[in-house]
Amino acid sequence: MIIVISKWKQKLLRLLMAVVLILAFAAALPVVTGKMYQLIPAVGGWFDDEHPSGNPLRVENEEQSSKYEQVMDQFVIKLQEFYYEEQE
């Protein structure tokens, strides 16, 4: 059984062009992202800043906290101590 495809040269040419375009895009993508690594924060820089490890509650910012934040921290600590004393 022979299947005859009309205009097979044009269809083969279109298929080859599509494959070439896909390969060109696949080759250009790493080059473009490499050049934009420093320009776009989503590609480079967001995850390089800091990687805290351990208990996330013990990671502190070095910024000076306001008086309200200091009072709230002391309140939370005293509330925790009261809760643990009551549990015993």
3-state secondary structure the chain: CCCCCCCHHHHHHHHHHHHHHHHHHHHHHHHHHHHCCCCCCCCCCCCCCCCCCCCHHHCCCCCCCCHHHHHHHHHHHHHHHHHHHHHC
In this predicted model, which residue has the larger pLDDT, 20 or 47?
Answer: 20
pLDDT range class, residue 78, cuts 50, 70, 90? very high
Where are the domains positioned within the chain? 7-45
Q: Calculate mean pLDDT across residues 22-37.
A: 86
The per-residue pLDDT for range 36-77, each reduced to its tens digit, is: 776 665 545 555 556 656 666 665 665 666 888 888 889 999
